[in-house]
Amino acid sequence: MKYQIEQLIAAALATLPPDILPADVPRPAIEIERTRDPAHGDFACNIALRLAKAAGRNPRQLAQAIVDTLSVSELVDKVEIAGPGFINFHLSPRAYSLELSRILDLAEAYGYGQRGAGERIVVEFVSANPTGPLHVGHGRQAALGDALAALLATQGHEVHREFYYNDAGVQINNLALSVQARARGLRPGDPEWPKDAYHGEYIQDIAEDFLARRTVHALDGEPVKATGKVDDLEAIRKFAVTYLRNEQDIDLQKFGVRFDVYYLESSLYTEGKVDETVAALVASGKTYEADGALWLRTTEYGDDKDRVMRKSDGTYTYFVPDVAYHVTKWRRGFRKAINVQGSDHHGTIARVRAGLQALGIGIPPGYPDYVLHKMVRVMRGGEEVKISKRAGSYVTLRDLVDWVGRDAVRFFLVSRKPDAEFTFDIDLALSQSEENPVYYVQYAHARICSVFRQLREKGLDYDRAMGEAHVARLTEPHEKALIRRLTYYPELLENAARALEPHQLAHYLRDLAGDFHTYYNAHTFIVEDAALRNARLTLVSAARQVIANALKLLGVSAPEQM
């Protein structure tokens, strides 16, 4: 609908005589906005305000000239000039009727666009190291990343959800040593307890299963059977990593998040991609040796200092496989890559991009994109619970989902801007779980389903054709407000996808549910007048559809009864 209004304005501008709008006046992009106040109609255009100065005319006068040349459309009832020179469009009942029909016809696909058709995007998120259970920060990332991926898919993008495992390096070695220590019966604090070892209870669990020669397996790999041989550190490492990956798989499955690809850092080494990348960087001439290490001149690409690639002990720093990994994204055909990460990692952005630039293989400077989110602080009993794997005392995602339910956690974690800090008060979530906003939205959905159940109990049927034919009967302000909100949905998806802001979806749902509840309380749907009754049922049926669609994008259920 917005697009059609835009076309009307564009056509009018093109036919304006030069004495009103000289041909040499630069034309800004036409912006069509939703009005904030229903009295201003449905859409507003500020083009006259933006052209006024260059055209040497006052905005209202110019707006009048534009309105005079607008062609007639069945979608538009009335066009007005208001305020300093806005052109306001009031849509016709016909326009509303057509859009409600579209919602019911397209059903699950309503709101989808084709802006991203053919473009492959990889969204990387969670990417937790397999050194411990997922914590609530990972939960925020999972909720954000999954909703973002779903949002991009609505715009026609071919989206891949990807999880990158840092299953190589120092931390994994620490993990193996920790499990080994536990398997030998050591405890934290013992003289022989390894430095920097993980203390969490889960280490003990892994050690016990390793000694019991249990078999574990991760979603994408072969089962691994524990040897039970305490001196075989490599066997312990393999078992522990698979064990923890499986634990994370379980958590994510419970959270309703799936990935298309699990990418293992270790595979970058075994497949030679790390060596390949290092060789290419050396060949590029952007590296140098100093202090026994190999450095990359990342400062040439905006980093604030050069970075070590190969340490003096011969091993690589983490950012080398990171660069190699992003090369694979590019080579796998993803011309756009979005990484959802904690903002505490923002320092890595410059060096990864620098590495990709130094390779000179045509990757654009802004590749990959990042959505950074602030950490989640957890409060319990009025005190902050420290999030630390090494300390082993932190709230896991699994705990949270068990306590307040998957729907509430997902909705809650995605409902605010990623770059704002998030305080998750466990006591509050527990004690007021029924006041969580997610129930407000789900209740609207269940209530609509209930209306149709009531209809059947009264021996009536919903006649959609009759309803669509009488949408013009929906003249109450509450009805128009609900229709306006529903027809905004496609624009919302487009805006939220472009801005990479899934939280817009949560706020929209809250508003939409509010519009419905208000309407529900103000008017009875199941009335004697069949034409009006079916028109109203058409409206709430469309509302149910859009609520269900939006909830699905967030990974939240849309119950028919509560």
Partner RNA sequence: GCGGCCGUAGCUCAGUUGGAUAGAGUACCUGGCUUCGAACCAGGUGGUCGCAGGUUCGAAUCCUGCCGGCCGCGCCA
* Binding to RNA, residues 246-305 (CB under 7 A): 290-293, 304-305
- CA torsion angle for 108, 111, 116, 122 (degrees, to 10)? -50
State the residue for tokens 């620098």. Answer: 354
CA 458 to CA 231: how far, in whole Å? 74
Q: Total residues contacting RNA (rule CB under 7 A)?
A: 91
CB of 389 to RNA, least distance (A): 11
- DSSP class of residue 374 equals P
CB of 514 to RNA, least distance (A): 5
One-character DSSP codes across 259-323? -SEEEEHHHHHHTTHHHHHHHHHHHTT-EEEETTEEEE-GGGGT-SS-EEEE-TTSPBPTHHHHH
- Considering beta carbons, is residue 24 or 313 the nearer one to RNA? 313
- Report the site for RNA in 306-325 (rule: CB under 7 A): 307-308, 311-313, 317-319
The tokens for 383 are 């005190």
CB of 129 to RNA, least distance (A): 5
One-character DSSP codes across 377-417? EEEETTEEEP--TTTT---BHHHHHHHH-HHHHHHHHHSS-
- Report the site for RNA in 479-538 (rule: CB under 7 A): 488, 491, 495, 498-499, 501, 503-504, 507, 510, 514, 517-518, 520-526
Please pick, from the candidates 69, 204, 284, 450, the single residue that binds RNA as defined by CB under 7 A: 450
Does position 430 interact with RNA (CB under 7 A)? The reply is no
Please pick, from the candidates 7, 27, 30, 34, the single residue that binds RNA as defined by CB under 7 A: 34
Q: 83: alpha, beta or left, given left = phi > 0 and alpha = psi -120 to 50?
A: left
Does position 20 interact with RNA (CB under 7 A)? The reply is no
- Considering beta carbons, is residue 227 or 450 the nearer one to RNA? 450
CA 358 to CA 338: how far, in whole Å? 20
Q: Which H helix or E strand runs over 503? A: helix 503-522
Q: In the β-sheet with 369-373, what is the strand arrangement from edge to edge?
A: 261-264, 158-165, 120-124, 336-342, 369-373
How do 43-45 and 76-82 pair as beta strands?
Answer: unpaired
Q: Cite the DSSP H helix spans in 79-200.
A: 93-106, 136-154, 170-183
Triad 291, 296, 301: Cα angle to 5°: 140
CA distances from 344 to 340, 347, 348, 364, 524 (A): 12, 7, 9, 24, 52
Does position 161 interact with RNA (CB under 7 A)? The reply is no
CB of 347 to RNA, least distance (A): 3
- Considering beta carbons, is residue 159 or 451 the nearer one to RNA? 451
Does position 473 interact with RNA (CB under 7 A)? The reply is no
| Binding window for RNA (CB under 7 A); candidates: 78-86, 95-103, 204-212, 245-253 | 78-86
Please pick, from the candidates 97, 123, 129, 368, the single residue that binds RNA as defined by CB under 7 A: 129
Please pick, from the candidates 1, 9, 16, 40, the single residue that binds RNA as defined by CB under 7 A: 40
CB of 229 to RNA, least distance (A): 27
Does position 348 interact with RNA (CB under 7 A)? The reply is yes
CB of 307 to RNA, least distance (A): 6
Does position 469 interact with RNA (CB under 7 A)? The reply is no
CA 177 to CA 196: how far, in whole Å? 10
- Considering beta carbons, is residue 84 or 333 the nearer one to RNA? 84
- Report the site for RNA in 379-418 (rule: CB under 7 A): 415-417
| Binding window for RNA (CB under 7 A); candidates: 33-41, 242-250, 252-260, 545-553 | 33-41
Does position 170 interact with RNA (CB under 7 A)? The reply is yes
Does position 561 interact with RNA (CB under 7 A)? The reply is yes
CB of 316 to RNA, least distance (A): 7
